[in-house]
Chain A
Amino acid sequence: MNCKQACEWMSAYFDGELNVSSMALATGSDRTEELADSAAPLAVAIREHIASCDACACELRSFEQIRQLATSQQKSLLCPPSWESMALKLDQVRGMALATDSDCDAVGMVEPAASAVPLIAKPAASTVPLIRRLALGGLLTLAASALLFFSLRTPPQLEGTSANQANFATLNLQPLIELFNTDSDKAMATLVSQHPTTDVTLATAEAEFGRPTFVQNSASSNSLPGNAHLVSTKLVQFPNCKCAKGICTCGPGGCSCVACVCQRPDGSTYLVLEHCKSQSVTFGDLPVQIVKRGDRHLQQVEVQGTTAISWEQDGERLTAIGLRGFQEIDTLLANN
């Protein structure tokens, strides 16, 4: 065996895949008996060659080092899109398909959490023949997918960043929610360590934010949820704080998201984030419900007796962590 032959089979040897089937497929041979006889000797021949050849031994070591590098990589901090986000996409496609399907009954936007709703739904009582419905459904699915595809491919031009940097960073709130419940100070310290953050006064926050913040509105009318008072205000830059003009309203000259910690009379706290609308959030592995309150759809999770909610409105996203009960939620919503 020479180096060229050894290198040809190096990966298969390294991966323990030097077997009859791979050799058969690689060589195009169907003489399995001959291959069975030759597979083991081939492995032996490669092993013997490597033992006597520094270059090939070095090649094999580099394979092992690259494997160690690949498998020791830290898990990416980025998370896949949440199911809620996926469900909204499904509803969008379904909505677009149904809106153009003249054979369908008019169907409005369903609740995101609605179950048992086919991607391309047809009323059971429809008199349209099955084959036609299937064909039409398929065409509409393709058309809707194409529309969605092109709409997603052309993000708005960003300020100070390239277009393909948009929408890639989902903020996983699970660690913050869990830590906030047990140690709110530590949770805030972690938030500060992970994102560029500045402590500011409420007045500065308003100036940077470009309009009164929720907490400011509530504090001025003494209507913070849970009779709480404001204890800290921070300007935070979250991963998607590079919104295009008109996408978010959290700052006149750039994004200036606001994080406010409010303290109840019993000393407990909750956190309200007012951040960019384009900042998608996920709650990690926590069970999320989509709850409709008024005209808002909230992502809502319950953790150890407290509630975290997040929703979009008027060009921004609001997230509250550590709320207690519906009354606090309703007060929060009423102030926005």
Chain B
Amino acid sequence: MAGIAESINENIVKRASAGERAAQRELYENFRDRTFRVVRRIVGESDADDVTQECFLKVFAKLPTFRFESQFSTWLHRLVVNESLQHLRSRSRRKKYGQPILDGEMGRVAGVATMENAELLEIALSRIEPELRVVFELKEVDELPYSEIAEIVGIPEGTVGSRLNRARTELRDQLTQLGWES
């Protein structure tokens, strides 16, 4: 992440802010993978494409308000997390993200014996609160320090720790319920 942050200089942000398409492309291509991953984790695969593009529309529209008082990556990440959570909240009409395919009596996911661990984690993550998914993703996948996670999510550093506690214990419980053999 540091590499990306260093490669995005003030000049590129200002040019993109002025609407220069080449600079917008540079920003997009530098951050799209990470953004897509976070968006996908929060809103699910079905909406990830659309929400990723919505996020960048908002990023480009709001670039003039970026004051270089924080790292650009942190600013962008905060916007992406907020936009994704907002999308999730407004999706009340639609089917709940990642609703598991439960065998009612057994309380286990159908076909669990053939499921890969990655699939189990996907399902387990879909069952915990979005706010917990976010901090888990930022810590375990992006490997961000608590201070940066706190800035992105807009919570105190201490709350990052407590949310990670909940995320990990709830994930462990869900994984166990799914038949995960650690």
Classify chain A's interface size.
35 or more
Given A81-B53, A164-B95: A17 in contact with B146 (beta carbons within 8 A): yes
Given A15-B146, A81-B32: A170 in contact with B49 (beta carbons within 8 A): yes
Q: How many A-B residue pairs have CB under 8 A?
A: 155
Tell yes or no: B56 within 8 A of A by CB: yes
Q: Which of B56-75 contact A (CB under 8 A)?
A: 56-58, 60-61
B25, B28, B37, B140: the one within 8 Å of A71 (CB): B140
Given A70-B141, A78-B48, A86-B53: A118 in contact with B95 (beta carbons within 8 A): no
Tell yes or no: B103 within 8 A of A by CB: no
Q: In angstroms, how far is the closest chain B Cβ from the Cβ of A20?
A: 11
Q: In angstroms, how far is the closest chain B Cβ from the Cβ of A101?
A: 15
| Interchain CA distance A11-B140 in the complex, whole Å | 12
A contact residues around B180 at 8 Å (CB): 69
Classify chain B's interface size.
35 or more
Given A22-B157, A70-B121: A86 in contact with B56 (beta carbons within 8 A): yes
CB-based contact A87/B21 at 8 Å = yes
Q: Which of A38-91 contact B (CB under 8 A)?
A: 59, 62-63, 65-67, 69-74, 76, 78-81, 83, 85-87, 89-90
| Interchain CA distance A308-B60 in the complex, whole Å | 30
CB-based contact A80/B19 at 8 Å = no
Tell yes or no: B20 within 8 A of A by CB: yes
CB-based contact B54/A149 at 8 Å = yes
Which residues does A use to contact B, with CB under 8 Å? 7-12, 15, 17, 21-23, 25-27, 59, 62-63, 65-67, 69-74, 76, 78-81, 83, 85-87, 89-90, 93, 114-121, 138, 141-142, 145, 148-149, 152, 162-168, 170, 280
Q: Which 8 interchain pairs have the tightest Cβ spacing? A: A118-B19, A26-B158, A80-B36, A11-B164, A12-B161, A70-B140, A25-B157, A164-B46
